[in-house]
């Protein structure tokens, strides 16, 4: 017999409450110390609900991270195919802009980034799954842009190192936000300041790529 609309709405409401409760608790206490019982208590759900909707605590954890990313305004707004249609310089700026705006936006749920930060410090098996299904896709997208900028004159290793350098530049403004604010004031994160940083990271990265192409054998020593 087909399920009634009311039953489906109740199911979706319960699932949503579980995700919201799990996001807050996993961010606060980490995967190991968060219990299914505490999540269900906060979500006002039966203890069996986690298995029913997610198949267990580990998959709930992963689905919570995925749902949190979807809640983030602007994340993955551009797909690789769309970026491939842009000139590479514009594609690079769009990639950097999307990434940095998401990381510093106060509209996005902070618990998402706290969970990821916990994974960096104390990885669970979920990190490997997250890298395989999410991070590798973004890496391929960035590497494709760099390869186009290099016009066939960059080695795979150079493309990899350039990609790491670009990511490191915009991640700094998230991970070191407390330091940046104390050094440069709260104005360091105004929309105008963020656009300035996007322009700088883009220009700095483009200049570095052009420099590597012009002087491929150059070695910097102390």
For residue range 81-95, list pLDDT tens digits in order.
Answer: 678 889 999 999 999
Residue 187 has pLDDT above 80, yes or no: yes
- Whether the pLDDT of residue 51 is over 90: the answer is yes
- Name the average pLDDT for the chain: 87
Domain span at 120: 72-214
**Residue 186: pLDDT above 50?**
yes
Which CATH number is 101's domain given? 1.10.357.10
Phi, psi of 91 (to 5 degrees): -60, -40
Percent of the chain with pLDDT over 70: 87
* Range 160-184 average pLDDT: 95
Task: Determine the pLDDT at residue 1.
Answer: 45
Of 70, 94, 118, which one is at a domain's C-terminal end?
70
More confident residue, 35 or 112: 35
Q: Report the number of distinct structural domains present in the chain.
A: 2
d(C-alpha 65, C-alpha 8), whole Å? 23
Q: Environment class of residue 10 by beta-carbon count within 10 Å: exposed (0-12), middle (13-18) or buried (19+)?
A: exposed
Residue 197 covered by a domain: yes
Residue 24 has pLDDT above 80, yes or no: yes
Name the nearest CA neighbour of 18 among 36, 37, 43, 41. Answer: 43
Cα 80 from Cα 75, distance rounded (Å): 13
Do 107 and 196 sit in the same domain of this protein? yes
Question: What is the predicted pLDDT for the residue at 78?
Answer: 56
Question: What is d(CA 57, CA 40) in angstroms, rounded to the nearest whole number?
Answer: 11
Q: Is residue 221 part of a domain?
A: no
Which among 52, 139, 129, 142 is positioned nearest to 93, based on CA atoms? Answer: 142
Tens digits of residue pLDDT in 70-120: 766 555 555 566 788 899 999 999 999 989 998 888 777 778 888 888 888
Residue 145: CB atoms within 10 A of its CB come to 27
Q: Work out whether the CA dihedral 41, 43, 46, 50 comes out positive or negative.
A: negative
């Amino acid at each position: 017999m087909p399920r009634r609309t009311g039953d489906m709405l109740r199911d979706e409401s319960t699932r949503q409450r579980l995700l919201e409760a799990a996001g807050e608790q996993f961010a606060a206490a980490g995967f190991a110390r968060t219990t299914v019982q505490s999540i269900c208590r906060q979500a006002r759900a039966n203890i069996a609900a986690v298995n029913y909707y997610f198949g267990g605590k580990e998959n709930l954890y992963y689905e919570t991270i995925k749902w949190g990313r979807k809640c983030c305004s602007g994340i993955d707004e551009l797909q690789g195919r769309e970026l491939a249609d842009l000139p590479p310089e514009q594609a690079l700026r769009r990639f950097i802009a999307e990434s940095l705006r998401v990381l510093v936006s106060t509209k996005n749920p902070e618990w998402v980034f706290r969970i990821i930060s916990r994974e960096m410090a104390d990885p669970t098996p979920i990190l490997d799954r997250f890298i395989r299904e999410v991070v590798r896709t973004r890496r391929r997208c960035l590497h494709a842009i760099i390869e186009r900028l290099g016009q066939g004159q960059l080695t795979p290793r150079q493309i990899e190192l350039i990609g790491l350098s670009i990511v490191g530049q915009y991640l700094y403004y998230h991970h070191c936000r407390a330091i940046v604010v104390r050094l440069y004031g709260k104005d360091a994160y105004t929309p105008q300041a963020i656009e300035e940083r996007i322009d700088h990271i883009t220009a700095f990265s483009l200049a570095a790529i052009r420099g590597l192409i012009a002087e491929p054998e150059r070695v910097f020593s102390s």
